[in-house]
Amino acid sequence: MIPSRALATTISAALAADAATLAHATLPIKVGLIIAPFVPSLDRVAADLTLGSTTGLIPIVGLVGTQLESVDPVTGELIVQLKPAAGGWYWETPVGFTGPITVYGFAVLNNALTVLYATETLPEPILLNTENQSITAAPLKFRIDPTKIH
């Protein structure tokens, strides 16, 4: 069966407000830089990934509570977008940084960094090798194609 729009949109609303994962009331998600090659997979777990841990490259704490949800007017996809931290999803190498560190993507994890919710690969890895280099993640969105729900 293909769900109706009314039923399908409950999926994104439920995910955006899920207090056990993305919308915890007191323990916000964290987004980290992945600094070792990886392949995204439904079966990937947090322990599989190497996250940035140098000053300026540590995981960023998101915001608590219900995340943003909408429908893409062009594709019809259901969108759940993570509310960004006050400074956005922005990392910068600190003074004195000599690297090199290669960034392969981003990970969305629980507050304790023990449960992986999502990964995203960069189109090309980014090499950080000196101070004052930065990486900013585009809006972090889950896209659900309602026509694929059967």
Q: Which among 119, 133, 121, 112 has a CA at the least distance from the CA of 54?
A: 133
Q: Where are the domains of the chain?
A: 5-148
| Mean pLDDT rounded to a whole number for the chain | 95
pLDDT one-digit tens code per residue, 57-66: 999 999 999 9
Q: What is the mean pLDDT of residues 85-99?
A: 94
- Predicted confidence at residue 3, as pLDDT, reads 82
Cis amide leading into 100 (omega within 30): yes
Per the structure block, which two tokens stand in for 130? 């000196």
What is the signed CA dihedral for 73, 74, 78, 84, rounded to 10 degrees? -80
Per the structure block, which two tokens stand in for 47? 């322990």
> Is residue 73's pLDDT more than 90?
yes
pLDDT one-digit tens code per residue, 16-42: 999 999 999 999 999 999 999 999 999
d(CA 63, CA 32): 14
